[in-house]
Chain A
Amino acid sequence: MATPNNVPDARLLGEADWIAVTDVCRLCLIDLTEVVELIELGVVTSRGPTPAEWLVPATSLPRLRIAGRLIRDLGVNVTGAALAVELLESRGDLERQIRRLERLVHG
Protein backbone atom coordinates (compact mmCIF):
# COMPACT_ATOMS: atom_id res chain seq x y z
CA MET A 1 0.00 0.00 0.00
CA ALA A 2 1.58 3.29 -1.07
CA THR A 3 1.75 6.10 1.43
CA PRO A 4 0.69 9.59 0.25
CA ASN A 5 3.13 11.43 -1.99
CA ASN A 6 5.76 13.57 -0.38
CA VAL A 7 8.55 15.69 -1.78
CA PRO A 8 11.88 14.97 -0.11
CA ASP A 9 14.79 17.37 -0.13
CA ALA A 10 16.56 16.55 -3.41
CA ARG A 11 20.03 18.00 -3.86
CA LEU A 12 22.25 17.65 -6.90
CA LEU A 13 25.91 17.13 -6.05
CA GLY A 14 27.27 19.49 -8.67
CA GLU A 15 30.24 21.40 -10.02
CA ALA A 16 30.61 23.70 -7.03
CA ASP A 17 30.65 20.91 -4.41
CA TRP A 18 33.76 19.47 -2.82
CA ILE A 19 33.27 16.26 -0.91
CA ALA A 20 35.29 15.05 2.09
CA VAL A 21 37.06 11.74 1.46
CA THR A 22 35.14 10.15 4.33
CA ASP A 23 31.88 11.09 2.60
CA VAL A 24 33.28 9.82 -0.71
CA CYS A 25 33.62 6.41 0.95
CA ARG A 26 29.93 6.47 1.82
CA LEU A 27 28.81 7.78 -1.57
CA CYS A 28 30.94 5.42 -3.63
CA LEU A 29 30.86 2.36 -1.32
CA ILE A 30 34.62 2.30 -1.28
CA ASP A 31 37.31 2.09 1.43
CA LEU A 32 39.23 5.18 2.55
CA THR A 33 42.56 3.56 1.66
CA GLU A 34 41.23 2.85 -1.83
CA VAL A 35 40.08 6.45 -2.33
CA VAL A 36 43.46 7.74 -1.14
CA GLU A 37 45.24 5.37 -3.52
CA LEU A 38 43.02 6.42 -6.44
CA ILE A 39 43.84 10.07 -5.69
CA GLU A 40 47.55 9.27 -5.47
CA LEU A 41 47.32 7.46 -8.82
CA GLY A 42 45.86 10.64 -10.32
CA VAL A 43 42.43 9.20 -11.13
CA VAL A 44 40.86 12.23 -9.44
CA THR A 45 42.21 15.48 -8.06
CA SER A 46 41.98 16.60 -4.44
CA ARG A 47 42.73 19.55 -2.21
CA GLY A 48 43.53 19.74 1.51
CA PRO A 49 46.60 19.34 3.70
CA THR A 50 46.47 15.66 4.67
CA PRO A 51 44.75 12.59 3.18
CA ALA A 52 42.24 12.53 6.05
CA GLU A 53 41.27 16.13 5.26
CA TRP A 54 41.29 15.80 1.47
CA LEU A 55 38.32 17.06 -0.50
CA VAL A 56 37.49 15.87 -4.00
CA PRO A 57 35.26 17.63 -6.55
CA ALA A 58 31.76 16.17 -6.85
CA THR A 59 32.35 15.94 -10.61
CA SER A 60 34.82 13.12 -9.80
CA LEU A 61 32.18 10.99 -8.12
CA PRO A 62 31.10 9.12 -11.29
CA ARG A 63 34.73 7.99 -11.81
CA LEU A 64 35.10 6.95 -8.18
CA ARG A 65 31.79 5.11 -8.18
CA ILE A 66 32.77 3.12 -11.24
CA ALA A 67 36.16 2.34 -9.66
CA GLY A 68 34.38 1.28 -6.47
CA ARG A 69 32.02 -1.03 -8.37
CA LEU A 70 34.89 -2.64 -10.29
CA ILE A 71 36.82 -3.25 -7.06
CA ARG A 72 33.75 -4.61 -5.28
CA ASP A 73 32.10 -6.62 -8.05
CA LEU A 74 35.03 -7.91 -10.07
CA GLY A 75 37.68 -8.17 -7.37
CA VAL A 76 40.21 -6.03 -9.26
CA ASN A 77 42.79 -4.12 -7.23
CA VAL A 78 42.97 -0.32 -7.06
CA THR A 79 45.61 0.01 -9.79
CA GLY A 80 43.54 -2.25 -12.05
CA ALA A 81 40.41 -0.22 -11.34
CA ALA A 82 42.26 3.03 -12.11
CA LEU A 83 43.47 1.61 -15.40
CA ALA A 84 40.01 0.27 -16.25
CA VAL A 85 38.32 3.61 -15.51
CA GLU A 86 40.71 5.43 -17.82
CA LEU A 87 40.35 2.81 -20.56
CA LEU A 88 36.55 2.86 -20.24
CA GLU A 89 36.54 6.65 -20.64
CA SER A 90 38.85 6.36 -23.60
CA ARG A 91 36.54 3.71 -25.10
CA GLY A 92 33.57 6.04 -24.51
CA ASP A 93 35.36 8.89 -26.33
CA LEU A 94 36.14 6.62 -29.29
CA GLU A 95 32.56 5.33 -29.43
CA ARG A 96 31.23 8.89 -29.48
CA GLN A 97 33.66 9.73 -32.27
CA ILE A 98 32.58 6.67 -34.27
CA ARG A 99 28.89 7.57 -33.83
CA ARG A 100 29.57 11.14 -35.01
CA LEU A 101 31.37 9.83 -38.09
CA GLU A 102 28.64 7.28 -38.75
CA ARG A 103 26.06 10.05 -38.70
CA LEU A 104 28.20 11.94 -41.17
CA VAL A 105 28.41 9.00 -43.54
CA HIS A 106 25.09 7.22 -43.10
CA GLY A 107 22.80 9.95 -41.77
Chain B
Amino acid sequence: MEYRDYYQIMGVARTATADEIKKSYRRLARKYHPDVSKEKDAEKRFKEVQEAYEVLKDPEKRAAYDQLGSDYKQGQQFRPPPDWGSGFEFRGGPRQGRARAGASHTEEFEDAEGFSDFFSSLFGQRGFGGGAGGGNPFGGAGARAARDHHARVDIDLEEAYAGTTRTLELKRPDLKPDGTLDLKTHTVKVTIPAGVTEGQLIRLAGQGEQSTGGGKPGDLYLEVHMKPNRLFQLDGRDVTLTLPIAPWESALGATVTVPTLGGGVDMRIPPNSQSGQKLRLRGRGLPGQTPGDQYIQLKIVVPPANTPEAKAVFEDMKQKLNFNPRAELGG
Protein backbone atom coordinates (compact mmCIF):
# COMPACT_ATOMS: atom_id res chain seq x y z
CA MET B 1 0.00 0.00 0.00
CA GLU B 2 1.02 3.61 -0.45
CA TYR B 3 1.94 6.00 2.33
CA ARG B 4 -0.34 9.02 2.71
CA ASP B 5 1.16 12.31 3.81
CA TYR B 6 -1.79 13.71 5.75
CA TYR B 7 -0.03 17.01 6.41
CA GLN B 8 0.61 17.52 2.71
CA ILE B 9 -3.01 16.63 1.88
CA MET B 10 -4.24 19.16 4.45
CA GLY B 11 -1.73 21.77 3.28
CA VAL B 12 -0.36 22.36 6.79
CA ALA B 13 3.04 22.01 8.45
CA ARG B 14 3.76 19.04 10.72
CA THR B 15 3.85 21.55 13.55
CA ALA B 16 0.36 22.92 12.76
CA THR B 17 -1.92 23.61 15.71
CA ALA B 18 -5.33 21.95 16.09
CA ASP B 19 -6.94 25.25 15.14
CA GLU B 20 -4.85 25.56 11.96
CA ILE B 21 -5.79 22.00 11.01
CA LYS B 22 -9.47 22.69 11.61
CA LYS B 23 -9.36 25.87 9.51
CA SER B 24 -7.58 24.06 6.70
CA TYR B 25 -10.15 21.24 6.81
CA ARG B 26 -13.03 23.70 6.56
CA ARG B 27 -11.43 25.47 3.62
CA LEU B 28 -10.64 22.26 1.73
CA ALA B 29 -13.96 20.60 2.59
CA ARG B 30 -15.78 23.61 1.18
CA LYS B 31 -13.58 23.54 -1.93
CA TYR B 32 -13.89 19.82 -2.68
CA HIS B 33 -17.25 18.77 -1.22
CA PRO B 34 -18.78 16.63 -3.99
CA ASP B 35 -22.22 18.17 -3.55
CA VAL B 36 -21.01 21.72 -4.18
CA SER B 37 -17.61 21.53 -5.90
CA LYS B 38 -16.89 21.93 -9.58
CA GLU B 39 -13.24 20.97 -9.10
CA LYS B 40 -11.84 18.07 -11.08
CA ASP B 41 -11.59 14.89 -8.95
CA ALA B 42 -13.52 16.68 -6.19
CA GLU B 43 -14.87 13.47 -4.66
CA LYS B 44 -11.43 11.83 -4.55
CA ARG B 45 -9.82 14.93 -3.06
CA PHE B 46 -12.62 15.34 -0.53
CA LYS B 47 -12.24 11.77 0.63
CA GLU B 48 -8.48 12.27 1.05
CA VAL B 49 -9.08 15.44 3.07
CA GLN B 50 -11.70 13.71 5.25
CA GLU B 51 -9.30 10.85 5.92
CA ALA B 52 -6.42 13.20 6.73
CA TYR B 53 -8.62 15.23 9.07
CA GLU B 54 -9.90 12.09 10.77
CA VAL B 55 -6.31 11.39 11.83
CA LEU B 56 -4.94 14.87 12.45
CA LYS B 57 -7.89 16.15 14.49
CA ASP B 58 -7.56 13.30 16.97
CA PRO B 59 -4.56 13.83 19.29
CA GLU B 60 -4.04 10.07 19.82
CA LYS B 61 -4.22 9.19 16.15
CA ARG B 62 -2.06 12.16 15.20
CA ALA B 63 0.59 11.25 17.77
CA ALA B 64 0.64 7.65 16.54
CA TYR B 65 0.84 8.80 12.92
CA ASP B 66 3.64 11.22 13.77
CA GLN B 67 5.61 8.30 15.23
CA LEU B 68 5.99 6.95 11.69
CA GLY B 69 8.38 9.87 11.19
CA SER B 70 8.74 12.40 8.41
CA ASP B 71 10.94 10.35 6.07
CA TYR B 72 8.09 8.77 4.14
CA LYS B 73 6.87 10.56 1.02
CA GLN B 74 3.31 10.73 -0.34
CA GLY B 75 2.69 7.64 -2.50
CA GLN B 76 5.76 5.73 -1.23
CA GLN B 77 5.33 1.99 -0.61
CA PHE B 78 4.50 1.41 3.03
CA ARG B 79 3.96 -1.36 5.59
CA PRO B 80 3.03 -0.62 9.20
CA PRO B 81 5.96 -1.28 11.59
CA PRO B 82 5.56 -4.42 13.73
CA ASP B 83 5.06 -2.43 16.94
CA TRP B 84 2.58 -0.08 15.30
CA GLY B 85 0.08 1.57 17.66
CA SER B 86 1.52 0.22 20.90
CA GLY B 87 0.88 2.59 23.76
CA PHE B 88 -2.02 4.32 22.03
CA GLU B 89 -5.76 3.98 22.62
CA PHE B 90 -7.68 5.19 19.59
CA ARG B 91 -11.23 6.23 20.23
CA GLY B 92 -13.84 5.82 17.51
CA GLY B 93 -13.34 4.79 13.95
CA PRO B 94 -13.71 6.59 10.69
CA ARG B 95 -16.93 8.45 10.19
CA GLN B 96 -19.50 7.02 7.83
CA GLY B 97 -17.81 7.43 4.49
CA ARG B 98 -19.03 7.03 1.00
CA ALA B 99 -17.48 4.16 -0.83
CA ARG B 100 -17.68 4.45 -4.55
CA ALA B 101 -18.94 2.05 -7.14
CA GLY B 102 -17.31 3.02 -10.39
CA ALA B 103 -18.14 2.53 -14.02
CA SER B 104 -16.88 -0.98 -14.54
CA HIS B 105 -19.04 -4.04 -14.19
CA THR B 106 -17.08 -5.23 -11.20
CA GLU B 107 -17.31 -2.41 -8.73
CA GLU B 108 -14.59 -1.90 -6.17
CA PHE B 109 -15.42 -0.58 -2.76
CA GLU B 110 -12.33 1.02 -1.31
CA ASP B 111 -13.24 -0.25 2.13
CA ALA B 112 -16.37 -0.45 4.18
CA GLU B 113 -15.99 3.17 5.28
CA GLY B 114 -14.58 4.68 2.11
CA PHE B 115 -11.08 5.33 3.44
CA SER B 116 -7.78 4.05 2.03
CA ASP B 117 -6.02 0.79 2.81
CA PHE B 118 -3.32 2.93 4.43
CA PHE B 119 -5.84 4.32 6.92
CA SER B 120 -7.46 0.91 7.49
CA SER B 121 -4.10 -0.72 8.15
CA LEU B 122 -3.25 1.90 10.76
CA PHE B 123 -6.57 2.69 12.41
CA GLY B 124 -9.29 0.70 10.69
CA GLN B 125 -9.28 -2.49 12.73
CA ARG B 126 -9.97 -0.55 15.90
CA GLY B 127 -12.50 1.61 14.13
CA PHE B 128 -14.56 -1.27 12.86
CA GLY B 129 -14.99 -2.78 16.27
CA GLY B 130 -15.40 0.50 18.08
CA GLY B 131 -18.40 2.46 19.18
CA ALA B 132 -19.94 5.42 17.47
CA GLY B 133 -18.09 6.50 14.36
CA GLY B 134 -16.87 10.05 14.72
CA GLY B 135 -19.53 12.31 13.30
CA ASN B 136 -21.96 9.49 12.66
CA PRO B 137 -24.92 10.13 14.93
CA PHE B 138 -26.28 6.64 14.38
CA GLY B 139 -23.28 4.58 15.32
CA GLY B 140 -24.78 3.79 18.69
CA ALA B 141 -22.89 2.32 21.61
CA GLY B 142 -22.75 -0.85 23.63
CA ALA B 143 -24.76 -3.73 22.13
CA ARG B 144 -25.54 -1.64 19.10
CA ALA B 145 -27.24 -2.75 15.90
CA ALA B 146 -24.98 -3.37 12.92
CA ARG B 147 -24.50 -0.22 10.87
CA ASP B 148 -25.79 0.43 7.38
CA HIS B 149 -23.27 1.07 4.66
CA HIS B 150 -23.69 3.66 1.95
CA ALA B 151 -22.14 3.66 -1.49
CA ARG B 152 -22.52 5.40 -4.79
CA VAL B 153 -23.17 3.78 -8.15
CA ASP B 154 -22.77 5.60 -11.49
CA ILE B 155 -24.92 4.39 -14.37
CA ASP B 156 -25.62 5.36 -17.98
CA LEU B 157 -28.93 6.88 -18.97
CA GLU B 158 -29.63 3.90 -21.20
CA GLU B 159 -29.15 1.63 -18.18
CA ALA B 160 -31.54 3.75 -16.14
CA TYR B 161 -34.11 3.41 -18.92
CA ALA B 162 -33.82 -0.34 -19.40
CA GLY B 163 -32.52 -1.47 -16.00
CA THR B 164 -29.14 -3.07 -15.47
CA THR B 165 -27.06 -5.23 -13.15
CA ARG B 166 -23.89 -4.48 -11.24
CA THR B 167 -21.47 -6.79 -9.51
CA LEU B 168 -20.23 -5.19 -6.33
CA GLU B 169 -17.17 -6.20 -4.39
CA LEU B 170 -17.72 -5.43 -0.73
CA LYS B 171 -14.91 -5.55 1.77
CA ARG B 172 -16.05 -6.61 5.19
CA PRO B 173 -14.21 -6.96 8.47
CA ASP B 174 -13.81 -10.54 9.56
CA LEU B 175 -12.77 -11.59 13.07
CA LYS B 176 -9.63 -13.72 13.02
CA PRO B 177 -8.84 -16.36 15.72
CA ASP B 178 -6.22 -14.06 17.26
CA GLY B 179 -8.90 -11.45 17.91
CA THR B 180 -7.82 -9.00 15.19
CA LEU B 181 -9.98 -8.07 12.25
CA ASP B 182 -9.23 -8.68 8.62
CA LEU B 183 -10.94 -7.32 5.49
CA LYS B 184 -12.59 -10.01 3.38
CA THR B 185 -13.99 -9.48 -0.11
CA HIS B 186 -17.59 -10.44 -0.67
CA THR B 187 -19.22 -10.28 -4.12
CA VAL B 188 -22.88 -9.46 -4.67
CA LYS B 189 -24.85 -9.00 -7.87
CA VAL B 190 -27.38 -6.19 -7.84
CA THR B 191 -30.29 -5.64 -10.19
CA ILE B 192 -30.92 -1.95 -10.76
CA PRO B 193 -34.53 -1.60 -11.89
CA ALA B 194 -35.64 0.36 -14.95
CA GLY B 195 -36.68 3.94 -14.27
CA VAL B 196 -34.17 4.77 -11.56
CA THR B 197 -33.39 8.50 -11.38
CA GLU B 198 -30.61 10.75 -10.12
CA GLY B 199 -30.04 10.48 -6.36
CA GLN B 200 -32.48 7.59 -5.83
CA LEU B 201 -31.66 4.93 -3.26
CA ILE B 202 -31.54 1.18 -3.68
CA ARG B 203 -31.66 -0.85 -0.48
CA LEU B 204 -29.80 -4.16 -0.29
CA ALA B 205 -31.18 -5.76 2.82
CA GLY B 206 -28.59 -7.34 5.08
CA GLN B 207 -25.60 -6.31 2.96
CA GLY B 208 -24.27 -3.66 5.36
CA GLU B 209 -22.16 -4.25 8.44
CA GLN B 210 -22.41 -7.81 9.71
CA SER B 211 -23.32 -8.10 13.37
CA THR B 212 -20.66 -9.84 15.44
CA GLY B 213 -23.19 -10.73 18.18
CA GLY B 214 -25.58 -12.70 15.96
CA GLY B 215 -27.88 -9.71 15.55
CA LYS B 216 -29.52 -8.36 12.43
CA PRO B 217 -26.99 -7.17 9.84
CA GLY B 218 -27.12 -3.62 8.53
CA ASP B 219 -28.31 -2.75 5.05
CA LEU B 220 -26.33 -1.42 2.10
CA TYR B 221 -27.76 1.65 0.38
CA LEU B 222 -26.67 2.49 -3.13
CA GLU B 223 -27.16 6.09 -4.21
CA VAL B 224 -27.61 6.25 -7.97
CA HIS B 225 -25.87 8.88 -10.06
CA MET B 226 -26.36 9.33 -13.75
CA LYS B 227 -23.42 9.76 -16.11
CA PRO B 228 -23.72 12.55 -18.68
CA ASN B 229 -25.10 11.38 -22.01
CA ARG B 230 -23.84 12.37 -25.44
CA LEU B 231 -27.32 12.88 -26.91
CA PHE B 232 -29.84 13.25 -24.13
CA GLN B 233 -30.01 15.67 -21.27
CA LEU B 234 -31.83 14.51 -18.15
CA ASP B 235 -34.08 16.63 -15.95
CA GLY B 236 -35.96 14.50 -13.40
CA ARG B 237 -37.57 11.85 -15.58
CA ASP B 238 -37.70 14.07 -18.67
CA VAL B 239 -35.02 14.01 -21.35
CA THR B 240 -34.20 16.65 -23.95
CA LEU B 241 -32.65 15.98 -27.34
CA THR B 242 -31.41 18.69 -29.69
CA LEU B 243 -32.53 17.70 -33.20
CA PRO B 244 -30.78 19.24 -36.21
CA ILE B 245 -33.14 19.87 -39.13
CA ALA B 246 -32.71 21.37 -42.61
CA PRO B 247 -34.23 24.78 -43.44
CA TRP B 248 -36.74 23.21 -45.82
CA GLU B 249 -37.84 20.74 -43.11
CA SER B 250 -38.40 23.67 -40.79
CA ALA B 251 -40.29 25.67 -43.44
CA LEU B 252 -42.37 22.97 -45.04
CA GLY B 253 -42.70 20.48 -42.19
CA ALA B 254 -41.41 16.94 -42.33
CA THR B 255 -41.59 13.54 -40.73
CA VAL B 256 -38.21 12.53 -39.32
CA THR B 257 -36.90 9.61 -37.26
CA VAL B 258 -35.90 10.80 -33.82
CA PRO B 259 -33.67 8.83 -31.42
CA THR B 260 -35.34 8.09 -28.08
CA LEU B 261 -34.10 6.00 -25.15
CA GLY B 262 -36.34 3.19 -26.43
CA GLY B 263 -35.13 3.43 -30.06
CA GLY B 264 -36.00 5.57 -33.09
CA VAL B 265 -39.56 6.91 -33.47
CA ASP B 266 -41.12 8.89 -36.32
CA MET B 267 -42.11 12.43 -35.41
CA ARG B 268 -43.82 15.14 -37.44
CA ILE B 269 -42.17 18.53 -37.49
CA PRO B 270 -44.84 21.17 -38.09
CA PRO B 271 -44.39 23.67 -40.94
CA ASN B 272 -42.82 27.04 -40.09
CA SER B 273 -40.89 25.65 -37.10
CA GLN B 274 -38.08 27.76 -35.68
CA SER B 275 -34.73 27.02 -34.12
CA GLY B 276 -35.06 26.55 -30.34
CA GLN B 277 -38.71 25.50 -30.60
CA LYS B 278 -39.55 22.54 -28.36
CA LEU B 279 -41.73 19.59 -29.25
CA ARG B 280 -42.80 16.86 -26.85
CA LEU B 281 -42.92 13.10 -27.16
CA ARG B 282 -45.15 12.11 -24.27
CA GLY B 283 -43.99 9.21 -22.10
CA ARG B 284 -40.67 8.77 -23.92
CA GLY B 285 -38.50 9.79 -20.95
CA LEU B 286 -37.52 7.53 -18.06
CA PRO B 287 -40.20 5.01 -17.06
CA GLY B 288 -41.93 5.32 -13.69
CA GLN B 289 -45.29 5.67 -12.03
CA THR B 290 -45.55 8.90 -14.02
CA PRO B 291 -43.23 8.29 -16.98
CA GLY B 292 -41.10 11.20 -18.13
CA ASP B 293 -41.44 12.91 -21.51
CA GLN B 294 -38.87 13.49 -24.22
CA TYR B 295 -38.47 17.05 -25.42
CA ILE B 296 -37.11 17.77 -28.87
CA GLN B 297 -35.31 21.07 -29.24
CA LEU B 298 -35.15 21.98 -32.94
CA LYS B 299 -31.95 23.34 -34.37
CA ILE B 300 -32.02 24.59 -37.96
CA VAL B 301 -28.74 23.84 -39.71
CA VAL B 302 -28.10 25.90 -42.84
CA PRO B 303 -26.27 24.03 -45.62
CA PRO B 304 -23.09 25.70 -46.88
CA ALA B 305 -23.29 27.69 -50.12
CA ASN B 306 -20.14 26.09 -51.49
CA THR B 307 -21.26 25.04 -54.99
CA PRO B 308 -22.72 27.09 -57.88
CA GLU B 309 -26.01 25.17 -57.45
CA ALA B 310 -26.23 25.91 -53.73
CA LYS B 311 -25.41 29.57 -54.31
CA ALA B 312 -28.13 29.73 -56.97
CA VAL B 313 -30.71 28.39 -54.52
CA PHE B 314 -29.82 31.02 -51.90
CA GLU B 315 -29.83 33.76 -54.58
CA ASP B 316 -33.28 32.57 -55.63
CA MET B 317 -34.54 32.71 -52.02
CA LYS B 318 -33.09 36.18 -51.62
CA GLN B 319 -34.90 37.40 -54.72
CA LYS B 320 -38.23 35.71 -54.08
CA LEU B 321 -38.80 35.66 -50.32
CA ASN B 322 -38.50 39.35 -49.46
CA PHE B 323 -37.37 38.30 -45.97
CA ASN B 324 -35.76 40.62 -43.44
CA PRO B 325 -34.71 38.77 -40.26
CA ARG B 326 -33.86 42.13 -38.62
CA ALA B 327 -37.24 43.74 -39.17
CA GLU B 328 -37.89 43.97 -35.44
CA LEU B 329 -34.65 45.90 -34.98
CA GLY B 330 -35.91 48.53 -37.40
CA GLY B 331 -33.24 47.50 -39.91
Q: Does residue B221 face the partner (Cβ distance < 8 Å to A)?
A: yes
- Which one of B63-71, B122-130, B179-187, B246-254 is at the interface? B179-187
B273 contacts chain A at the CB level, 8 A cutoff: no
User: Is the C-beta of A47 less than 8 angstroms from some C-beta in chain B?
Assistant: no
The answer to the question of B121 belonging to the interface, with a C-beta cut-off of 8 Å to chain A, is no
Chain A residues whose C-beta falls within 8 Å of the C-beta of B206 in the assembled complex: 8-9
A73 pairs with B200, CB closer than 8 A: no
| Distance A26 CA – B223 CA, assembled complex (angstroms) | 14
Contact (Cβ within 8 A) A74 B26: yes
A29 pairs with B29, CB closer than 8 A: no
B199 within 8 A of A: yes
- Return the chain A residue nearest B201 by Cβ: A13
Q: Which residues of A contact B167 (CB under 8 A)?
A: 5
Q: Is the CB–CB distance between B185 and A2 below 8 Å?
A: yes
Check if B39 is an interface residue, CB within 8 A of chain A: no
A14 contacts across to B, CB distance below 8 A: 195, 200, 288-289
A-B contacts counted at CB < 8 A amount to: 128
> Is B205's CB within 8 Å of the partner chain A?
yes
| Of B4-12, B72-80, B111-119, B133-141, the one touching chain A | B133-141
B193 at interface, CB cutoff 8 A: yes
Whether a CB of chain A sits under 8 angstroms from the CB of B202 is yes
- Cα distance, A3 to B233, chains bound together (Å): 39
CA–CA, A55 and B167, complex, Å: 33
CA distance A73 to B233 in the complex (A): 30
B159 within 8 A of partner (CB): no
Cα of A29 to Cα of B233 in the assembled complex, Å: 30
Tell me whether A12 and B185 are in contact (CB under 8 A): no
Contact A1 B184 (CB under 8 A): yes
A11 touches B33 (CB 8 A): no
Which bucket holds chain B's interface residue count? 35 or more
* Complex CA distance for A70 and B30, rounded to whole angstroms: 9
A14-B288, A27-B221, A62-B200 known; A73+B29 contact, CB < 8 A: yes
Encode contact with B along A34-72: 1 for CB under 8 Å, 0 otherwise. 000000000000000000000000100110011001101
The answer to whether A29 and B204 touch across the interface, beta carbons within 8 angstroms, is no
Is B185's CB under 8 angstroms from A104's CB?
A: no
What residues of chain A lie closer than 8 Å to B24, measured between beta carbons?
none
Q: How far is the CA of A25 from the CA of B96 in the complex (A)?
A: 13
Q: Assuming the A-B contacts A29-B96, A65-B223, are A11 and B186 also in contact, with contact meaning beta carbons closer than 8 angstroms in the complex?
A: no
Q: Say whether A74 contacts B29, CB under 8 Å.
A: yes
Give the chain B neighbours of A26 by CB distance below 8 A: 138, 148
Q: Are B205 and A99 in contact (CB under 8 A)?
A: no
**CA A61 to CA B207, docked complex, whole Å:** 20
B275 within 8 A of A: yes
Cα A29 to Cα B137 with chains together (Å): 7
Of A9, A12, A58, which is in contact with the most chain B CB atoms at under 10 Å from its CB?
A: A12
**B299 & A107 in contact (Cβ 8 Å cutoff):** yes
Let me know if A3 and B150 touch, CB within 8 A. no
> A100 and B240: CB pair below 8 A?
yes
Contacts of A66 in B (CB 8 A): 35, 199
* Docked complex: B1-39 residues within 8 A CB-CB of A: 26, 29-30, 33, 35-36
Interfacial residues of chain B within 197-245, with CB under 8 A of chain A in the complex: 198-207, 220-221, 223, 233, 235, 240, 242, 244
Binding site for A on B (CB under 8 A): 26, 29-30, 33, 35-36, 46, 50, 95-96, 135-138, 148, 150, 167, 169, 184-193, 195-196, 198-207, 220-221, 223, 233, 235, 240, 242, 244, 275-276, 288-290, 297, 299, 301
> Can you identify 24 A-B contacts, CB atoms within 8 angstroms?
A2-B185, A2-B186, A2-B187, A3-B184, A7-B188, A7-B191, A8-B188, A8-B206, A8-B220, A9-B204, A10-B190, A12-B196, A14-B200, A29-B137, A61-B201, A62-B223, A66-B199, A73-B29, A74-B30, A84-B36, A88-B35, A100-B233, A100-B240, A103-B242
For the complex of A and B, 8 pairs with smallest distance between CB atoms: A62-B199, A103-B242, A15-B289, A2-B187, A8-B204, A13-B201, A9-B205, A2-B185
A residues within 8 Å of B by Cβ? 1-16, 25-27, 29-31, 58, 61-62, 65-66, 69-70, 72-75, 84, 88, 93, 96, 99-100, 103-104, 107
